[in-house]
A and B are shown apart, each in its own frame.
Chain A
Amino acid sequence: DTGVSQNPRHKITKRGQNVTFRCDPISEHNRLYWYRQTLGQGPEFLTYFQNEAQLEKSRLLSDRFSAERPKGSFSTLEIQRTEQGDSAMYLCASSLRGTGTGIGTQYFGPGTRLLVL
């Protein structure tokens, strides 16, 4: 499978616990993005990486959220001290840096659905 993969697909946790999600992008893609999506809304940008560098971070991302991409391949998103408001689908996408039609198009993984009780 050469698409974007995310693990786990579903996570149920209790308020106050920490959770970590993993994203494996398409292998030749050097850009990786994290989004959060709640019911009836479009994906909201959280952060993005070019290779291992985190180049932009949304103001939506509180101090409880941290993302890493240590070797420029897979990425992790950690949420500390989860709150019920963190319940959402967390989507990862990847794209290829460059020029030309369609370059920069983001391809999404299946998402991790988080439920905080």
Chain B
Amino acid sequence: GQNIDQPTEMTATEGAIVQINCTYQTSGFNGLFWYQQHAGEAPTFLSYNVLDGLEEKGRFSSFLSRSKGYSYLLLKELQMKDSASYLCAVKAGYQKVTFGTGTKLQVIP
């Protein structure tokens, strides 16, 4: 089976930087995804990491360490619209993707 842990809630200030951590335990690791989900809406794809290191995409970056079973999502220059849940999801084998429970981020002025 798989086990994915991420903080339940975080609060950060507009304009600041926030790091959302995700740890996982799985066999047959084949990639890690980050999704953003606003309340009442579907998840939208943010990033995908399959090799160790940092992937940067605009204000969002995602890091992976396979040996540590660890990833983080880094959000820079926070905006109010970044208030959402951030889901870490792990792919094992060829298809099965398991989602964490999500981290609810609140951006305050």
Interface residues of chain A, those whose CB is within 8 Å of chain B, are 31, 33, 35, 40-45, 48, 55-56, 91, 101-102, 104-111
CA distance in complex: A40, B96 (Å): 21
**How many residue pairs, one in A and one in B, have C-beta atoms under 8 Å apart?**
48
Residue numbers in A under 8 Å from B44 (CB-CB): 108
Q: Do the beta carbons of A42 and B42 come within 8 Å of each other?
A: no
B43 at the interface (CB under 8 A from A): yes
- Dominant secondary structure of chain B at its interface with chain A: strand
B7 at the interface (CB under 8 A from A): no
What is the 8 Å Cβ interface bit string for chain B, positions 22-50, against chain A (1 contact, 0 not)? 00000000010101000001111100101
CB distance from A77 to the nearest CB of B (A): 15
CA distance in complex: A43, B96 (Å): 12
Q: Do the beta carbons of A42 and B91 come within 8 Å of each other?
A: no
- Identify which of B12-20, B61-69, B74-82, B97-105 touches chain A: B97-105
Interface residues of chain B, those whose CB is within 8 Å of chain A, are 31, 33, 35, 41-45, 48, 50, 87, 89, 91, 95-102
User: Which of A31, A44, A48, A104 is in CB contact (< 8 Å) with B31?
Assistant: A104
Q: Do the beta carbons of A110 and B42 come within 8 Å of each other?
A: yes
CA distance in complex: A44, B4 (Å): 13
User: Which of B95, B98, B101 is in CB contact (< 8 Å) with A48?
Assistant: B95
